[in-house]
């Protein structure tokens, strides 16, 4: 049987595949775009197919739906005709009688949903006992009407189905916008579960940033991407920012498969959705910025000629070595030595400042080559004066180090200069200044005692 009113749906764009939406993207799209219910009572673009073998029913439904619902109507007399028409035209809803010639009943409902999953099926039957509501819905029907239907019942059910479709379509397009915003962001974005910390989704920028394939990131704990030293800080950040819904962690180290590290600022946004919660993370690569800051900081703390730390850093380091009176222990010990080049001014006057600079560099190399790597540190204190801090060392060990330095310098080309060294051991009750004064006093006595010697305080 031909449709009672021709369809214009073939000229419209294809309907989105609403059943193919990623569940997580559906939920995030609601948050991202603030999806609102914009459903209206204007259903002129909706197309309903009525399948019933009774002409009077088809005519009655056509009149009711056109006049009261305002949608477009096509009609057929059998389930087979309905399937054939659905192959060429787009319909939103099929109203199907359960008893018709050819394919009908539960089998018709199942076939409709299998072949056209986006079409809603509204079942209509006068045999309620033969087709229980539960079985019909299980087969895929959206709703159920018993003949004869109550006044206004079919309009109400269609309005509800249309409203649900509008929301689903809005959600689909919202999800597409979300995907575009998410995928095309210049910054790395991922979604994680706040409970398992597993990565739910990641965009192309993040996969590029981390140096991994997209599929290799999904489902792994976010901790697999972070420096182990940052794990507890990240967990604490999630708990700290959760009540406020957002927050930012700075200078988090991200690990790449090649072993290189990136400095990252991580912005967190907590997305609360019914029955679920997700954390949206934005990763901003600040590696170059941090490296430049570190370079500037290192330059401010380092003597450019020798590469040793400067005088300011000696005072800073001493504050970490000299124990606070409230936290003193019996095994707190350290040694500090001051080094001065004897006759350095005369060398400069005789051989020139370039030679003097070479000697200063030589002292720096000797200090670095002699001290251990376990906390010992050398400093250029100023001019031709140097300091060496030996945390944990006693006087015997410190004097051995000092003698090696003096002997090594003396064995080289020193242009008439020698090395005097004063060594002081930390004593209980000393503060930073007293410790420095003790080492400086020992140096003064070394120079006053003939130079080119090691003197202990």
Catalytic residues: 384
Is residue 409 within 8 A of residue 419, CB to CB? The reply is yes
Rg of the chain over Cα atoms, rounded to whole angstroms, equals: 41
d(CA 182, CA 21): 15
Task: Please choose, from the candidates 42, 162, 2, the residue with its C-alpha nearest in 3D space to the C-alpha of residue 93.
Answer: 162
Phi-psi region of 387 (alpha: psi -120 to 50; beta: other; left: phi over 0): beta
Angle at 347 between CA 345 and CA 349, to 5 degrees: 70
Is residue 242 within 8 A of residue 194, CB to CB? The reply is yes
Residue 123: C-alpha distances to residues 38, 47, 141, 286, 410 (Å): 27, 16, 7, 60, 104
In this structure, the number of other CB atoms found within 10 A of the CB of residue 202 comes to 27
Query: Position of tokens 């659905």?
Result: 86
């Amino acid at each position: 049987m031909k449709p009672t009113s021709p369809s214009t749906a073939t000229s419209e764009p294809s309907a989105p595949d609403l059943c193919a939406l990623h569940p997580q993207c559906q939920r995030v799209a609601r948050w991202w775009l603030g999806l609102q219910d914009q459903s209206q009572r204007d259903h002129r673009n909706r197309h309903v197919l009525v399948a019933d073998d009774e002409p009077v029913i088809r005519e009655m439904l056509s009149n009711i739906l056109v006049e009261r619902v305002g949608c477009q109507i096509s009609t057929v007399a059998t389930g087979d005709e309905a399937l054939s028409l659905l192959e060429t035209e787009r319909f939103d809803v099929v109203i199907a009688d359960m008893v018709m010639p050819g394919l009908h009943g539960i089998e018709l409902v199942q076939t409709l949903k299998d072949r056209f999953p986006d079409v809603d099926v509204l079942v209509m039957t006068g045999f309620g006992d033969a087709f229980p509501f539960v079985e019909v819905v299980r087969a895929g029907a959206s709703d159920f009407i018993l003949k004869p239907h109550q006044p206004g019942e079919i309009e109400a059910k269609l309005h509800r189905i249309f409203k649900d479709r509008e929301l689903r379509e809005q959600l689909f397009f919202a999800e597409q916008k979300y995907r575009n915003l998410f995928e095309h962001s210049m910054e790395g974005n991922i979604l994680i579960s706040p409970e398992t910390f597993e990565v739910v989704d990641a965009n192309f920028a993040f996969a590029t940033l981390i140096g991994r394939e997209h599929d290799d990131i999904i489902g792994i704990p976010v901790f697999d991407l972070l420096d182990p030293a940052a794990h507890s800080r990240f967990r604490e950040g999630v708990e700290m920012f959760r009540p406020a819904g957002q927050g930012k962690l700075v200078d988090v180290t991200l690990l790449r498969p090649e072993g290189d590290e990136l400095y990252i600022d991580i912005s967190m946004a907590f997305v609360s959705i019914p029955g679920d919660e997700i954390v949206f993370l934005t990763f901003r690569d600040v590696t170059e910025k941090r490296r430049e800051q570190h370079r500037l900081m290192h330059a401010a703390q380092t003597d450019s000629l020798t590469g040793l730390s400067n005088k300011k850093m000696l005072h800073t380091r001493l504050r970490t070595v000299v124990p606070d009176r409230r936290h003193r222990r019996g095994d707190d010990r350290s040694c500090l030595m001051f080094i001065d080049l004897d006759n350095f001014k005369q060398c400069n006057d005789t051989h020139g400042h370039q030679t003097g600079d070479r000697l200063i560099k030589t002292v720096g190399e000797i200090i670095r080559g002699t001290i251990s790597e376990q906390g010992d540190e050398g400093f250029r204190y100023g001019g031709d004066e140097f300091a060496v801090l030996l945390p944990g060392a006693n006087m015997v060990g410190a004097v051995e180090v000092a003698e090696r330095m003096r002997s090594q310098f003396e064995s080289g080309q020193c242009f008439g200069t020698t090395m005097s060294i004063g060594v002081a051991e930390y004593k209980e009750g000393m503060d930073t200044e007293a410790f420095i004064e003790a080492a400086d006093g020992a140096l003064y006595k070394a120079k006053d005692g003939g130079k080119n010697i090691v003197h202990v305080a």
